[in-house]
Chains A and B, each alone.
Chain A
Amino acid sequence: MGKSRSGTDEPFETSGYLHVLALLGGTAMGISRRVLATLGSISLLLSETFGGILCGVFVPGVRLGREALLTQMVRVGIKAIPIVIMIQLAIGMILPLQMFPKLDEFGQAEQIATINGIAAFRELGPLMTAVILSGFAGASIAAELGTMVVAEEIEALEALALNPVRFLVVPRLLATIVMMVLLTVIADVVMVLGGFLTSLRLGIDADVFYLLSREAVDLMGFGTGLIKAGVFGLLVGLIACYLGLAVKPWQGSDGVGKATTHTVVYSIVAIIGADAIFTVIFYSYGLFK
């Protein structure tokens, strides 16, 4: 008997839907095996990167490459600032507008400040920044590293006894994490600003808005938001570096294109997944009231 497409030997004669089931099962097993293998290599990359960071910080003589880090931070973060501001301003203006009619019915119109503040600092600031950066930084990092693989640059680095992880991944990953946190601070503030503009338009007193916003945003909400941002940055950077370096030289520009697309898709999935987990943890430990 031949081999089925998923590579497993068919155990018995199958017919009709049984056959389809067997095929699906085999494919699912193949996929889950691949996912496990991928997760394995990603954690390997992560541990190697942290090894590289620790080496750079603690071992004298090994350079962390401050210039490289700076270049990457500018490239990852600074250019994304206008987009982050634009999007967060828009969301900050839209969300209160949507909430207003219902809240007004209850005579609680000014509570849009509370809702907007909580949404910005706990959720939408980190989340939207991460989504923007996955398109901005993630895609460009994956494309850059993929192109370097195809151009044999990675092999050349290795032949020069330079570790591509230490040399390329460390500065990119650090830059993504740092810039994600910094951009999130901007995103948080700008979204509240957007809400403020709307509430002025809706005739809510500026002082009331300010007071309610201050009340809604506690240190805990702000801090947990930044922790989330840091982890999102780690995920985006890690996925981008992994998929970029996983391009094979013979895949050419096709492989680079796929790596770029996959980076954005997987990053967003990973971000949402991590967000869900964080929310469960934060609430079950009663960090939020």
Chain B
Amino acid sequence: MPDYTNTSEPVIQVRSVIKSFGDQRVLDGIDLDVMPGEIMVVMGGSGCGKSTLLRHMIGSIVPDSGSVKLFGREITTLSEQEMNEIRKKFGILFQSGALINSLTVGENVALPLREHTHLDEKTIEIMIKIKLELVSLRIHADKMPAQLSGGMKKRAGLARAIALDPQILFYDEPSAGLDPVTSAQIDQLIIDLTRKLHVTSVVVTHEMDSAFSIADRMCMLDKGKVLKIGMRQEFETLRDTPAENLTSDQDKLIRQFLRGDADGPLSRRKADSDYEEDLLRV
């Protein structure tokens, strides 16, 4: 179980992170703590900046302002070499899998092992088999990524992400585009890795079923801000409360998102926008 005692330090600490691309402010002052051994699920509408937040946490984007700490170290000011040392301690599953297309599935998994460890080829072979078996891809080790389906690519990406036995795992939409059974298997894998190996996990997802089955805590993003962070149970309660009983607009908005209702404050927001004006301007 995750460690929520007051004495434990967060593994990931995001403070007042602001990031704009051109005129568009994608992250507008994000604060987020992820505690050791927990599964933190980050939710939010498409394009609200979930992947961008993830990219800040893995140090591939530097914020305009604010701080990001991994293992207690500020990563926004690290040199490339120092950052690489930290990168070896976490794994990431990209939204598209991001396999190296010129290497086979097995070689993709072997890549971090060959480059960052001094293991001999035999041991690496064994480790590839173990990691691929975990995601049920062992028999596909010699295929090229182009020969895999989208879901298989994602699983191969996961096998590569766990190759170095990382302490943190980041998942960008792990179950999007997977069939229900595979999706449930991935969920179980995330839970197993977290519980058995005491990995800390950050999962970005749209899929509410999957979110509720894996999360310890949840975080909802909207318009570049954190709407709500809380234990899974709080979100469950919010989801199951009738809309009439909720007073704040914010709670109603979160409830609609969690339930996937067509009607609610989120839908009205679209109608409020300057759509008509925009049309008339043409």
Contacts and interface: CB of A to CB of B under 8 A. Distances in A.
B87 interface: yes
B111 A162 contact: yes
A47 to B, nearest CB: 14
**Among A61, A147, A148: residue with most chain B CB under 10 A:** A148
Interface stretch (A153-161, A191-199, A210-218): A153-161
B98 A156 contact: yes
B87 A156 contact: no
B123 interface: no
B100 A153 contact: yes
A151 B115 contact: no
B98 A155 contact: yes
Interface string B27-62: 000000000000000000000000000000010100
A152 B100 CA distance: 9
Given A151-B98, A152-B94, A159 B115 contact: no
B201 to A, nearest CB: 16
B96 interface: yes
Given A162-B111, A162-B115, A157 B96 contact: no
A153 B101 contact: yes
Interface residues of B, number: 24
A158 B85 CA distance: 12
A126 to B, nearest CB: 30
B61 to A, nearest CB: 10
B88 A158 contact: no
A68 B157 CA distance: 22
A63 to B, nearest CB: 8
A271 to B, nearest CB: 28
Contacts of A153: 98-101
A151 B58 contact: no
Interface in A118-171: 144, 147-148, 151-153, 155-163
Contact of B111 (A63, A147, A160): A160
Contacts of B281: none
A153 to B, nearest CB: 5
Nearest to B92: A159
Interface of A: 61, 63, 144, 147-148, 151-153, 155-163
Interface of B: 58, 60, 80, 83-85, 87-88, 92, 94-96, 98-102, 111-112, 115-116, 118, 157, 160
9 contacts: A152-B94, A152-B95, A157-B100, A159-B58, A160-B112, A160-B115, A161-B87, A161-B116, A163-B80
